[in-house]
A = this chain, B = another copy of it.
Amino acid sequence: MSLLTKTNFPLRGIIPPMITPLNADGALDSASVQKLIEHLIAGGVHGIFILGTTGEFSGLSYQVRRELITQTCELVAGRVPVLVGITDVSIEESIALADYAEEAGADAVVAAPPFYITIDQSEMYSYFKQLADGISIPMFLYNMPSHTKLIIEVDTVVKLSSHERIIGLKDSSAHGVYFQSLCHAFRDQPDFVLMVGPEEMMAETVLMGSHGGVCGGANLFPEVYVGLYEAAVKRDFGKVKEFQAVVMEISTKIYQVGGYKSSYMKGLKTAMSFRGLCQAQFASPLYPFSEEEVEELRKRLIEITNQLELKKV
């Protein structure tokens, strides 16, 4: 049975969107999956979310997706909740993946709107309702307009939240007004989980009362994001300032090498490869940095690591 339910154990904290370790031939790098999961749990994360955008779900074959689900659930073994991305353009493939995840022992699934055709809110409501009706595992909504071209409007979220299996929402819009509007709409329903995607905004939204963040950088330095979250919960402003500075250094240095639209993804995974957490291998259409870019990134990561050690944060 899922660790998560709407009323008893609402999710809180830092849930990294786990990158998917790959070999050069595109197969799953199982050794790194194991190493990475131990790294995350040792870093104090409150859950693990696989097959999100940072997990490159869209570039993976269904075969690789299923292997990752199975391995992750086995390796995590109930120590923290496991969330599985089932976003797809075909509702039938999403349902099949949700069933597979449930069978494998996952705690919840996460679904963005179908991302090819553009639809109205009435169609979006109908879609998510049909999806939630078709599965038997708790589900998070995932607002990701930069990738789906669609916004799950606050009214649609409110209507969907009455579904027994819809337990929260992850918002990656980076739109501060949208997120505060959600928080206001659910101000009397603390069991509906509201998490923010962009790690740069996590501290401020937790200070305002929301529940945590799905922080990509936590793949690299989980203790930094967990530390920032806990400082925000405790309203320890000195620590918030210190950790936020590190988060912003990562954001502005590690995620911006080369000026690509994919610099975040390339920077994160390549930096992790320096720490032995995975290989710098990507699902198509992404491909590795050039040698010069790798060296630039290495220099930047060393600076940040040195800062971290000096500060002992």
Partner of A175, one of B175, B251, B252, B284: B175
For A201, the chain B residues whose CB sits under 8 A away are 176-177, 180
Q: Is the CB of B147 within 8 A of A118?
A: yes
Could you mark each residue 247-264 of chain A with 1 if its beta carbon is under 8 Å from any beta carbon of chain B, else 0? 011011000000011100
Determine whether A53 belongs to the interface, using a CB cutoff of 8 Å to chain B.
yes
Q: Is the CB of A92 within 8 A of B244?
A: no
Determine whether A305 belongs to the interface, using a CB cutoff of 8 Å to chain B.
no
Closest-by-CB residue of B relative to A112 is: B116
Determine whether A1 belongs to the interface, using a CB cutoff of 8 Å to chain B.
no
Bound Cα distance A238, B115 (Å): 40
For A235, the chain B residues whose CB sits under 8 A away are 235, 237
Q: What is the size, in residues, of chain A's interface with B at 8 Å between Cβ atoms?
A: 70
14 contacts between A and B (CB under 8 A): A58-B90, A118-B147, A119-B262, A119-B285, A120-B261, A123-B260, A124-B285, A127-B284, A175-B176, A176-B201, A183-B248, A184-B249, A204-B207, A208-B244
Q: Is the CB of A91 within 8 A of B284?
A: yes
- Within 155-180 of A, Cβ neighbours of B (below 8 Å) are at 174-180
Determine whether A126 belongs to the interface, using a CB cutoff of 8 Å to chain B.
yes
